Amino acid sequence: MELSDFGKKFTERSGILELMDDLSQALQGSEKKYMLGGGNPAHIPEVEGVFRKRMEEILHTPGALEAMLGNYDSATANASFAEALASLLKDQFGWPIGPENIAVTNGSQTAFFLLFNIFGGRTGGKVRGKVRKIVFPLCPEYIGYADQGIDPDQFVCFPSRIEEVGNGLFKYRVDFSRLEIPDDAGALCVSRPTNPTGNVLTDGEVRELVRIASQRGIPLFLDNAYGLPFPRIIFEDVHPYWDENVVFSMSLSKLGLPSVRTGILIARKEIVRAVSAANAIANLANGGIGQILVTPLIRNGEILRISEEYIYPFYKRRSSQTIQWIHEAFPRHLEYRIHKSEGAIFLWIWFKNLRITTKELYEKLKQRHVIVVPGEYFFFGLQEPWEHRTQCIRLNYSGPVDDLKRGIEIIAEVAGAHTR
Contact residues toward ligand PLP (CB under 6 A) are 39, 107-109, 142, 144, 191, 195, 223, 225, 251, 253, 258, 263
* Nearer residue to ligand PLP within complex by CB, 74 or 109: 109
Give the shortest CB-108-to-ligand PLP separation in angstroms. 3
CB 244 within 8 A of CB 268: yes
Give the shortest CB-1-to-ligand PLP separation in angstroms. 29
d(CA 389, CA 290): 37
Sign of the torsion formed by the C-alpha atoms of 221, 223, 228 and 234? negative
* Nearer residue to ligand PLP within complex by CB, 108 or 291: 108
Give the shortest CB-345-to-ligand PLP separation in angstroms. 8
Give the shortest CB-269-to-ligand PLP separation in angstroms. 22
CB 160 within 8 A of CB 175: yes
* Nearer residue to ligand PLP within complex by CB, 50 or 225: 225
Sign of the torsion formed by the C-alpha atoms of 31, 34, 38 and 43? positive
Give the shortest CB-251-to-ligand PLP separation in angstroms. 3
Give the shortest CB-158-to-ligand PLP separation in angstroms. 18
Q: Which residues contact 31 (CB under 8 A, 6 or more apart)?
A: 369
d(CA 67, CA 48): 23
* Nearer residue to ligand PLP within complex by CB, 73 or 223: 223
* Nearer residue to ligand PLP within complex by CB, 127 or 285: 285
Task: Give CA angle at 323 (310, 37), nearest 5°.
Answer: 75
Residue nearest ligand PLP, CB atom distance? 107
d(CA 308, CA 159): 33
* Nearer residue to ligand PLP within complex by CB, 142 or 155: 142
Sheet containing strand 169-173, edge to edge, reads 161-166, 169-173, 336-339, 346-351, 392-396, 373-374
